[in-house]
Amino acid sequence: MTQTNYSQLLDDYGFKNGITLKNRVVMAPMTNFSSNEDGTVSKPEIDYYIRRSKGVGMVITACVYVSRSGKGFPGEFGADSDELIPSLRELADAIKGQGAKAVLQIFHGGRQCPPDLLPDGQTVSASSVPAELPGGGQGPVPRTLTDEEIQVIIADFGAATRRAITAGFDGVEIHGANGYLVQQFFSPHSNLREDRWGGSLEKRLTFPLAVLREVKRVVSEYASSPFLVGYRFSPEEPETPGITMAETFALIDALKGEGLDYLHASLMELWSLPRRGTEDSRPRIEQIVDRAGAVPVIGVGSLYTAEDALKSLDTGIDLVALGRPLLMEPDWVQKVAEGRASEIKTELDPAAQGELVIPDPLWGAITNTPGWVPVKA
């Protein structure tokens, strides 16, 4: 097929704040478990990002913890201290040096953090409700955050944003998805509070909106050039009670009301259908795009081929994010641009770790998690 079939994917894209991407393909945020013990970015990690930053218009990094109480993964890099700014700058420079915009995803793991990664071994959350684990059973019981601690974490999101600006990133993405702390405050499953941080739907929105306001305040104070602020969210939760589509629409409305540069819907399958909270039977992503109105939406979810990615634009999304596809095929965008879309690899070659520049910890995670990434037989 000729590249003209895919020209829509390769068109540049301009955000309202003046930042322009060279195409509409984004590297999705993916944890790679490969940072140094002190929270700095490792050399294998830098190489991994360089290998994947050349084709895409924008790279959203793996999440960084904004507080030491929020470290969610072994080998996660940090943004909780000014000492980490040089490390963050090295990563931003590496991504931007390949021609992509660099966005830092900022995060607190809340009740999902492994206790052995935390200074005091104690997970925290909106309430003392353990997470339901995918295979059954429950995670550790978190300690309920005090009002004062909540305000410190909000300030931590702001401080991490200042560090991202200083380090030369083009934006930050607030990680309000995948069951981490920002989502824990919004969810009726994990937030049973009866103070200003919980109770009604409106009060469960207080923490996510306070984080967004603080991030925006810091951007207006410290950024001397256009700087993106995005928000990633999971449209629904499987738990009962849990976030429904109706509550997702309320979240989108509230975020729109505050003003932000984009919304990023976290989905395993882009065309997945809603569970509850809407009478509309269309895929969630189409309903999200409708609700977002003028706010740009990034869509993600099992878009392996160029055909998948092109078709995804029919949902109305503005940008296409690729996570697992770029693990298997770092040259995805280049192959599309060169009319070689048929050569895009959609399965991981077990013998190609070196060529794919995947750090050992991430390679181990991929190969030990059957079903996460399609593997070539």
Distances (CA, A) of 261 to 19, 31, 92, 170, 296: 10, 23, 19, 12, 7
222 is catalytic: no
Identified catalytic residue from 6, 180, 231, 262: 180
> What is the Cα–Cα distance from 326 to 53, expressed in whole angstroms?
10
**Span between the terminal Cα atoms of the chain, in Å:** 26
Radius of gyration of the chain (CA): 20
Q: Which helix (H) or strand (E) holds 257?
A: helix 245-258
- Virtual torsion, Cα 148, 154, 156, 161, nearest 10 deg: -160
> What is the Cα–Cα distance from 158 to 323, expressed in whole angstroms?
26
Q: Which helix (H) or strand (E) holds 7?
A: helix 7-10
Q: List the catalytic residues.
A: 180
